[in-house]
Amino acid sequence: MDRIRIAGGRPLEGSIAISGAKNAALPLMAAGLLTDDRLILDNVADLADLRTMAELLAQHGIAVERTLPRRLSLGGAITNTEAPYDIVRKMRASILVLGPLLARTREARVSLPGGCAIGTRPVDLHLTGLEAMGAEIKLDSGYIHATAKRGLRGAKITFPFVSVGATENLMLAASLADGETVLINAAREPEIGDLAECLNAMGSNITGMGTDRLTIIGARRLHGAQHEIIPDRIEAGTYACAAAITGGEVLLRGARSADLGAVMACLLQAGVDINETVEGLSVSRRNGLHGTDVMTEPFPGFATDMQAQFMTLMAVAEGASMITESIFENRFMHVPELSRMGARINVHGASAIVRGVPVLSGAPVMATDLRASFSLVLAGLAAKGETIVSRVYHLDRGYEHVEQKLAACGAAIERI
């Protein structure tokens, strides 16, 4: 199994091209189920999770080809409406095929995703939303069996709390439903706006992007389109932390401050210098880092997908910081690993108190989930001595060419 070896202590200097957003690409690929025409997606990163989605779509009958290094071309007719456990268990976002399959063929059988390392992560909001649109849902043998004999119809759906995936699944379904769907308390993440833009290019009529109320007027049929995916704000935030923790200066090409939401303000407050230019965000740190409290929240709040990386930054900041995780119930698995590298962190329920130390020390550590794995890479980049991160398949799910991007900026990092 691959591991990553890092010799820490070198400031990163240079530039890093930010890849297309994984979390935008996943629902956009699922949108390929909404039409027999060709859907062309540009700025698509080469990531394990996207290959899993391509595998899932292929067994539904939609061929996904990489026709250019950054381009995916999707096309074909649906030949199978079952999403099997073997693929769904690898990636929870597989649930995003449920809405499109049901809207298109009036029937779908999708394996229940089950829990994952960061929490139980139920899909009840996806299911109750589809029921409100006329679907009949039965759970049997670990599968969701959804039917809509007379097709899906528009509905007014109020989410009790914000869910990115449920908002996306219902947007996909509503695009081919009969009449108007209104999603209230919808997610406002930039990936939602990106999905809406592509669905509109396919013939849907979605308004309210960037607000918590989306209105979708369903179309009888959707057609092909070409769409360019937004830059990955989590990758950008992660490399901003890398520049900051090593005291270097990195230009994040293509990154946009508006997509970072509260992450931007928290980095600035912690003492990171960020300048927006036409090329992207230039991130540096010349002075010390200060302890800064953060609480994860739906966008534009502080992204839960940046929590682990920010915690590593705070592990070497001056003073204490309180990091509260309000989205997932079990997202501090990086804490024991960071502690092995000398971090001083105490977890109390949903909050972690981080007391900054002057320097971390390299150690063998184990990645536990996608974002947590990069928090260990960050710790390794800043630490004195050698760090070996194992279980890097977590990293490969969502970060493209990590070693190449970091090594090009002077990091001593290699895959072994």
Which residues in this chain contact ligand UD1 in the complex, by CB under 6 A? 23, 26, 92-93, 119, 121-126, 163-166, 304-305, 327-328
Min dist CB 227 to ligand UD1, Å, is: 17
Q: Which value, in Å, is the radius of gyration of the alpha carbons in the chain?
A: 21
- 229 membership: H or E segment, kind and range: none
Q: Which is nearer to ligand UD1, 23 or 321 (CB)?
A: 23
CA distances from 172 to 62, 69, 195, 311, 398 (A): 16, 27, 9, 35, 23
* Pick 23 or 246: Cβ nearer ligand UD1: 23
Burial class (CB in 10 A: 0-12, 13-18, 19+), 112: middle
Which of 116, 198, 241, 409 is the catalytic position?
Answer: 116
How far is Cα 241 from Cα 251, in angstroms, rounded to an integer? 12
Provide, rounded to whole angstroms, the least separation between the CB of residue 15 and ligand UD1. Answer: 26
Instruction: Give the three-state DSSP class for 372.
Output: helix
* Smallest gap from residue 59 Cβ to ligand UD1 (A): 19
- Please state the closest distance from residue 324 (CB atom) to ligand UD1, in A: 14
Does the annotation count 116 as an active-site position? yes
Give the residue at shortest CB distance from ligand UD1: 165
Give the nearest distance from C-beta 416 to ligand UD1 in angstroms. Answer: 28
Q: In angstroms, how far is CA 172 from the centroid of its own chain?
A: 18
> Is 142 buried (19+), middle (13-18) or exposed (0-12) by CB count in 10 A?
exposed
By beta-carbon proximity to ligand UD1, the closer residue of 125 and 316 is 125
Contacts of 16 (CB under 8 A, 6+ apart): 239, 250, 251, 252, 253, 405, 408, 409
Which CB atom, from 163 or from 284, has the smaller least distance to ligand UD1?
Answer: 163
The sign of the CA dihedral 297, 170, 158, 218 is positive
Q: 328 in the Ramachandran plot: left (φ > 0), alpha (ψ -120 to 50) or beta?
A: beta
Q: Considering beta carbons, is residue 15 or 85 the nearer one to ligand UD1?
A: 85
Catalytic residues, by residue number, are: 116
